[in-house]
Amino acid sequence: MNVIPKFALLGLVAGAALVSAPAFAQSAVPGHPRVNEVNGRLDNQQNRIDQGVANGTMTQKQAARDETHDANIARRESADEARHGGHLTKAEQNRLNRSENRDSRHIYRQKH
């Protein structure tokens, strides 16, 4: 009796993966170089936060605060992209980079 529900669950998972595959493939397509740079830096900072929590140099509270700052940058980036059809202007990139530099220094100071 347990065999049928397991196959049904497996079928649902496989179907969901097939349906969502185009959405994941679309996000893997490289975007505008400025967008890629900002996203790459956000990913790098997230990895640094995770590493700091894992090795004990950062507390969960510090990590949550830094992740909130990064989420704010990502939200501002999304709004800027929406205004320009998925692209960032050089000025927007510079503004986001300044914010990322500030957050990066903050992460560094917490870990050291």
pLDDT (0 to 100) of residue 101? 95
Domain residues for 15? 1-30
| CA-angle at 44, arms to 89 and 107, nearest 5° | 100
Pair 35, 78 in one domain? yes
User: pTM of this prediction?
Assistant: 0.68
Residue 13 shares a structural domain with residue 43: no
Q: Are residues 59 and 21 in the same domain?
A: no
Nearest by Cα to 33 from 82, 81, 100, 105: 81
Span 1-34, pLDDT tens digits: 455 555 554 455 455 555 444 443 334 345 778 8
| Pair 22, 44 in one domain | no
On whether both 37 and 2 belong to a single domain, the answer is: no
pLDDT tens-digit map of 47-87: 999 999 999 999 999 999 999 999 999 999 999 999 988 88
Q: Please tell me the total count of domains within the chain.
A: 2
pLDDT at site 33: 87
Alpha-carbon gap, residue 60 to 17, rounded angstroms: 32
So what's the pLDDT on residue 23? 43
15 and 46 together in one domain = no
